[in-house]
Amino acid sequence: MMDQMTSLVSLIILKVDMDEDSRDYLDYLQTFVIFVLKKYTPDPVTDSKISELLLTEFGLNVPHRGCQMVLRRMA
């Protein structure tokens, strides 16, 4: 049940961000990526590690390619 609630909340945040701030999906994910980077400080930072941390921390199953795109945008 908690996994479903986490997924629902993340979808709600995405919808509000897209409606209110004209942010896209990568902008939405960037907030979560920054959080896991600060909390876990992985070394090295890889798309697969970020994907794993997003799943562990938030229950978000983000493909490696999606994480790679967010990391490239942040760099």
pTM for this one? 0.75
**pLDDT at 52 > cutoff 80:** yes
Distance, in Å, from the CA atom of 10 to the CA atom of 34, rounded to the nearest integer, reads 15
The residues, any chain, with a CB within 8 Å of residue 9's CB and separated by 6 or more, are none
Q: What is the per-residue pLDDT across 22-31, written as a single tens digit (0 to 9) for each?
A: 677 788 889 8
| 3-state secondary structure (DSSP) of residue 2 | helix
pLDDT band at 2 (very low <50, low <70, confident <90, very high): low
